[in-house]
Amino acid sequence: MGAATPLPVLIVLHQEHSTPGRVGRLLVERGHPLDIRRPRFGDPLPQTLALHAGAVVFGGPMSANDPDDWVKREIDWIGVALDEKKPLLGLCLGAQMLAKHLGGRIDPHPSGLAEIGYYPLKPTATGRRFASETGAPWPSHVYQWHREGLDCPPGGELLAEGADFPNQAFRVGPAAFGLQFHPEVTHAMIYRWTTRASERLGLPGAQAAHLHHRGRFMYDPDVALWLDAFLDHWLAAGAPQARSQPVAEPGSACAPAI
């Protein structure tokens, strides 16, 4: 008998032209099709993740505190992954949605600071133990693009800290993770963000565009190594994958590549 076909990974994006970046590429390299959905634009989210290997909820310019119905529905939907103990990864806004679902607060920095650029990351004692599980050390600096921070929610374990926004990475159970930072960014994404949203580079605490590009050359090799090991650990942390490729749900957009 041949090897089992990997299940798709649900990719939740929040802007019309957003991509899953390096996270998507690494998942495809591992054989997982990408089921890309944009609930902001009317795509339904599955009622179960039984036909998925896991889910990644990405970032966006909106807030987890926004009153939009789709924001509230998406935050509620996170309970599907948690209840089924499927691998769930929230990145920036996705991490804030996970924290809010679990009762954590999402707030602006009290001094109005933003983190936009590369900033230091410090693992906690729990985070250092987690690094021994994955076999890869945490990167010293990570890419950020946010003005709000999150609480480590009830039931969560804080894995990594920052200076201005203390809660940078947390885990809930074995398979759900929230990362305030953006390990998925590619060179093209950084160029696009710093060009199309250049007005945000003037916010207090934000870094000038040239520091984003310099930071990528300095720090991204370590981020890439960490992410590669992290994803293997993350995918293995949830329920066993099904042995055969399922039929996609009506309305889904399964993509074999980015």
Point out the residues that are catalytic.
92, 182, 184
Instruction: Compute the chain's Rg from CA coordinates.
Output: 17
Taking the CB of residue 10, how many other CB atoms lie within 10 A of it?
25
3-state secondary structure of 120: strand
3-state secondary structure of 119: strand
**How far is it, in rounded angstroms, from Cα 109 to Cα 170?**
19
Looking at residue 241, its amino acid is: Q
* Residue ranges of E strands in the chain: 9-12, 34-37, 54-57, 88-91, 106-108, 115-120, 122-123, 141-146, 148-150, 157-161, 167-172, 176-179, 254-255
Taking the CB of residue 1, how many other CB atoms lie within 10 A of it?
4
Identify the CA nearest to 171 among candidates 129, 232, 139.
129
Q: How many residues does the chain have?
A: 258
**How far is it, in rounded angstroms, from Cα 243 to Cα 212?**
43
